[in-house]
Amino acid sequence: MSGYRFPVGRLPDEALLSGLAAGDPDLAVIFVRRFQHRVFGVAMAVTRDQQLAEDVAQQTFERAWRHAQIYDSRRGSVTTWLTTIAHNLAVDAIRARRTEPLAPEDLEDLLDAVTETPERWALADEASAQVRSALARLPREQGRALMMAGIYGMTARQIADAERIPLGTAKTRIRTAMARLRTTVASPERGDHVQ
C-alpha cells in the first residue's frame, strides 16, 4: 500500500470508491470499514430488524461496487450516495416483506423514519429533501394514505379497508396529498423548500 499519496486511512472517499470499483482489495476493505456503521444505521432506522438491516447493508456495498462508475460528485458526497442506496434498498426490503396491510401504528413509525430521522439530511439531494419536507407537512392521514399507496403499492380500496374509511375518502386523501407535493416541489420559490 506504499504507492498511495495519502496515508491509506486518510484517503478521500472518492479515492476509496474508485479503488472499490477497480477491485483493489485493500481499498475495498477500508471503504467498507469507513461506511459500515453509517450504512447499517440507515438500514436499521428504516427496517427496525437487525438481520434485515445486515442484509441491506451487504446489498448496499455490493451495489456500490457494481455501480461505482456512475457516482457523480456534483450530485452529492459519497456518503450521501451510499446512504441513499441503503435507504432505497431498506424501503424495498420492507415492501417485499409486506404481503398484508400494515397496522396503523406501524405506518406512523415508517412515516417518522422517512420524515423525522437524522438520516434524512444525509439521504438525498435538494429535490428529495423538498419532497420529504413537503411530506412531513401533510396532515397525518394524507401522509399515511400516500405512504400506503406509494411505498406499499396499495390500491385506494385496500387503503380504505385498512383505514376503515370510505373509498372516496381514501381516493381524496391520495389525490390531495399528491397535489400538495407537486405544488411544493414545483414551486420552491414559495418558501416550501428545506433550507
Mean pLDDT of all residues belonging to the chain: 77
Top pLDDT among 95 and 124 is at: 95
Grid coordinates of 149: 399507496
Residue recorded with cell 442484509: 55
Each residue's pLDDT tens digit, 13-53:
888 888 888 888 888 899 999 999 999 998 888 888 899 99
pLDDT at 191 exceeding the cut of 50: no
Domains and CATH numbers, the chain: 1-97 (1.10.1740.10), 101-195 (1.10.10.10)
Lowest mean pLDDT segment, chosen from 133-137, 138-142, 148-152, 188-192:
188-192
Top pLDDT among 190 and 170 is at: 170
60, 84, 85, 119, 127 from 49: Cα distances, Å: 16, 18, 18, 17, 29
pLDDT at 125 exceeding the cut of 50: no
pLDDT at 121 exceeding the cut of 80: no
